[in-house]
Amino acid sequence: MKKLFLFALVLVFTSTAFGQIAYLHYRSVPQDQEEKFVERETKYWSKVAKSAIDKGQLAGWSLWRKVGVTKADAPNYVFVNQYASLDQLDNENIWSDNMDALGDVKPEDVETWSFTKLTFDYYVQFEDAVEGDYKYAIVNYAKPTSVGQFMQENKTLWKPFHENNIKNGNGMTAWGMASVIYPSGNQDRFSAFTYDGFNKLSDAMKYMSYNAPSDDNPFADIMSKSKMNEIMPDGFNYRIIYERIMTVE
């Protein structure tokens, strides 16, 4: 039952402290069950997460819905369970200790496991961020040749660039990045990601839209200084937009 309270982006997707840990839990929910799933998670299970947060057992919890369909068997929801440190993961009683938060409701009457599917999950560490409020997050999943070089360039080159754009009001309201702790290896889906926050879906879509190269393109100058073509020669594995459903802090 404890996996009910998990996962990006972001997507991650809440206020974070550097070095903070998140457990990302990706769930596939049938279209005809989405309303029931969201109601049960936000109305009931968020209370259990809130109780754990109030006791200092969790740092945060949020639920996100993927915008659109990427693949028929791909997850369409993701939970983010945030922890202050890896040591908090050793508490195996977080969920059982907080079931009283459900009140008179029986767990079996509001469960969501029987009609959904866990597709995969990840443990990640937040590395840096430009904090801000946002409803939508573009999560840029990456598998660079060197995670260290990827993080270093993002910290020194891309973070100041995004920070300046956010201050100037280009639609983006937040930015951050994380590295994958587990699982890892050559066959893994991604080993790091960045996320771009927006308050309007249209702004997120405009940001992802193709812009022909030109002298006034804001990315032209920074791309001339970037080594991402070497660090990540195939580009991002996926760039997916998630909508925030609920956050408990």
| Inter-residue contact 206 to 166 (CB < 8 Å) | no
Q: What angle do CA 92, 94, 100 make, to 5 degrees?
A: 135
Q: 13: pLDDT confidence band, cut at 50, 70 and 90?
A: very low
Which of 92-106, 211-225, 230-244 has the least mean pLDDT? Answer: 211-225
Could you write out the DSSP letters of every residue in 135-177? SEEEEEEE--S-HHHHHHHIIIIIHHHHHHHHHTTSSEEEEEE
Q: 57: pLDDT confidence band, cut at 50, 70 and 90?
A: very high
Q: Count the neighbouring beta carbons within 10 Å of the beta carbon of residue 123.
A: 17
Residue appearing with tokens 């459900």: 102
Q: Count the neighbouring beta carbons within 10 Å of the beta carbon of residue 241.
A: 22
Q: For a pLDDT cut of 90, what percent of the chain falls above it?
A: 82
Q: 219: pLDDT confidence band, cut at 50, 70 and 90?
A: confident
Average pLDDT for 3-18: 41
Q: Name residues whose C-beta falls within 8 Å of residue 89's C-beta, 6 or more positions apart in sequence.
A: 21, 23, 83, 123
Q: Does position 211 have pLDDT exceeding 80, yes or no?
A: no
Q: 210: pLDDT confidence band, cut at 50, 70 and 90?
A: confident
Cα–Cα distance, 47 to 50 (Å, whole number): 5
Residue appearing with tokens 């201050």: 167
Q: State the chain's mean pLDDT as an integer.
A: 91
| Inter-residue contact 14 to 60 (CB < 8 Å) | yes
Q: Count the neighbouring beta carbons within 10 Å of the beta carbon of residue 42.
A: 14
Average pLDDT for 7-21: 51
Q: Does position 54 have pLDDT exceeding 80, yes or no?
A: yes
Q: Does position 128 have pLDDT exceeding 50, yes or no?
A: yes
Cα distances from 88 to residues 22, 26, 85, 142, 182, in angstroms, run: 11, 21, 6, 27, 16
At 44 the pLDDT is 98
pLDDT in tens, 89-120: 999 899 999 999 999 999 999 999 999 999 99
Cα–Cα distance, 249 to 238 (Å, whole number): 28
At 6 the pLDDT is 36
